[in-house]
Chain A
Amino acid sequence: MASLRLPSLKKSGGDDGGILSRLSDYPIVKKGKSTACDAAYVAKRLLKSTGKAAWIAATTFIVLGIPLIIEMDREAQFNEVELQQASLLGGAAPAHPGYM
């Protein structure tokens, strides 16, 4: 990888250039380099699409899930309060009118 960034050094070094440039001529190194590049590309794409999916899931949850959770919780609290009142008043709690 480093040899990619140092083309000028390689040119100035001539035939017997640095150890890095000689190393990069080996087929195994070349192959490894291209595999690493591919892997990096795939990982980037994967990360991008997971990020997008997570964004969609999170915004959907904010819109659909959070109000539902909050309202269910409120309803449960109301029921609890009413139950307490009913037990305090001896079961003669007034019937709460529903949301019209």
Chain B
Amino acid sequence: MATLIPPSPATATTHPAAGPTNPTATEQPKVDYLNLPCPIPYEEIHREALMSLKPELFEGLRFDFTKGLNQKFSLSHSVMMGPTEVPSQSTETIKIPTANYEFGANFIDPKLMLFGRVMTDGRLNARLKCDLTENLTLKGNAQLTNEPHMSHGMFNFDYKGSDYRTQFQLGNGALFGASYIQSVSPHLSLGGEVFWAGQHRKSGIGYAARYNTDKMVTTGQVASTGMVALSYVQKVSEKVSLASDFMYNYMSRDVTASFGYDYILRQCRLRGKIDSNGVVAAFLEERFNMGLNFLLSAEIDHKKKDYKFGFGLTVGE
């Protein structure tokens, strides 16, 4: 359930509190319940925690280059090299070295956004975001691969009300989903979702709650798939936020808790986390110059003895 805009270093490092909810109503003693702020979309309720705890860790080399041809159109080239994990039955991870080139084209207009990505291994990814009216937004996402049954497409219709948001989802394989989230007080919003996957004969229902002030964000989510997710983010200062999350799956009985920090400094952004599976990870984005970013990614899995280190360069933007 990714957002349409790729979490590039520029967008990913925007202020986490820059959500649509407006905390100015807190000072008023009496709450105007007819004039509540608009909640953030249902699929993004864990946004702050995910941003701090789940950076895009990678292994090997990455080089990204983005060149704007004019105000609205830009091309991107990226090269990735390094070992990739091959899924296998044994507990040991098998890695084979791979190299990939990705070509992308972006069209960005306030009303219409189009993104296309082609990789040398034959994967194609296309995304679209279009504001149909003031409140109704259409999002599309399609992925084509040369492997059979791995291609999929999806359309989302998002409607944004004054103090609620609702989304309808349509995907291939007879996938239908709907979600609704409503602000019930200036800080608290509650939501629910239903989905039905016709091809796999599965359906589910989920609930979520989110409480945010300008200093902290707490979220909780349960779903009938057995997933329970809780997260808590505390903004210690303008530059530092601490995040923790807890995941529990009732069906597979696995529990994970993690704790991380997120430092947004003048020349860099540093994210680190440690979790209960014995995984330690850090992700550093260092700005050398305007439009030149250096990435360092490290992940150590003490339990599996799996070590991943990567470095990268982002040019442009």
A78→B270 contact, CB < 8 A: no
Q: If A64-B272, A68-B272 touch, does A100 touch B263 (CB 8 Å cutoff)? A: no
B267→A67 contact, CB < 8 A: no
CB of B112 within 8 Å of the partner chain: no
Interface residues of B in 260-291 (CB under 8 A from A): 261, 263-270, 272, 274, 280-282, 284-285, 287
A63→B282 contact, CB < 8 A: yes
CB of A71 within 8 Å of the partner chain: yes
B266→A67 contact, CB < 8 A: no
* Complex-state Cα separation, A72 to B263, whole angstroms: 9
Cβ contacts under 8 Å, B14 to chain A:
100
Q: If A63-B300, A68-B272 touch, does A75 touch B280 (CB 8 Å cutoff)? A: no
A71→B263 contact, CB < 8 A: yes
* Complex-state Cα separation, A35 to B38, whole angstroms: 73
CB of B302 within 8 Å of the partner chain: yes
B264→A98 contact, CB < 8 A: yes
A63→B268 contact, CB < 8 A: no
Cβ contacts under 8 Å, B272 to chain A:
63-64, 67-68
A99→B300 contact, CB < 8 A: no
CB of B298 within 8 Å of the partner chain: yes
A100→B268 contact, CB < 8 A: no
B302→A56 contact, CB < 8 A: yes
CB of B150 within 8 Å of the partner chain: no
* Complex-state Cα separation, A67 to B282, whole angstroms: 9
Interface range for A: 10 to 19
* Min CB gap B248→A, angstroms: 24
A59→B300 contact, CB < 8 A: yes
> What sequence of 0s and 1s flags, for each residue 8-46 of chain A, a beta carbon within 8 Å of any chain B beta carbon?
000000000000000000000000000000000000000
Cβ contacts under 8 Å, B9 to chain A:
100
A99→B298 contact, CB < 8 A: no
Interface residues of A in 57-74 (CB under 8 A from B): 59-60, 63-64, 67-68, 71-72, 74
A-B pairs under 8 A by CB, number? 59
A71→B300 contact, CB < 8 A: no
**Counting chain B CB atoms within 10 Å of each CB, which of A59, A71, A100 scores highest?**
A100
* Complex-state Cα separation, A99 to B289, whole angstroms: 11
CB of B10 within 8 Å of the partner chain: yes
B13→A100 contact, CB < 8 A: yes
CB of A96 within 8 Å of the partner chain: yes
Cβ contacts under 8 Å, A75 to chain B:
265-267
> What sequence of 0s and 1s flags, for each residue 13-24 of chain B, a beta carbon within 8 Å of any chain A beta carbon?
110000000000
B280→A60 contact, CB < 8 A: yes
Cβ contacts under 8 Å, A64 to chain B:
272, 274, 280, 282
Cβ contacts under 8 Å, B298 to chain A:
63
A60→B274 contact, CB < 8 A: yes
Which residue of the partner chain B has the closest CB to A65?
B272
Cβ contacts under 8 Å, A56 to chain B:
302
* Complex-state Cα separation, A67 to B285, whole angstroms: 11
* Min CB gap A23→B, angstroms: 48
Q: Nearest 10 A-B pairs (CB), nearest first?
A: A64-B272, A75-B265, A63-B282, A60-B280, A63-B298, A63-B280, A100-B10, A56-B302, A71-B270, A67-B284
Interface residues of B (CB under 8 A from A): 9-10, 13-14, 261, 263-270, 272, 274, 280-282, 284-285, 287, 296, 298, 300, 302
Apart from A67-B282, A99-B268, A100-B14, what 8 extra A-B contacts exist at CB < 8 Å? Answer: A60-B280, A63-B280, A63-B300, A64-B280, A71-B265, A71-B270, A74-B265, A96-B266
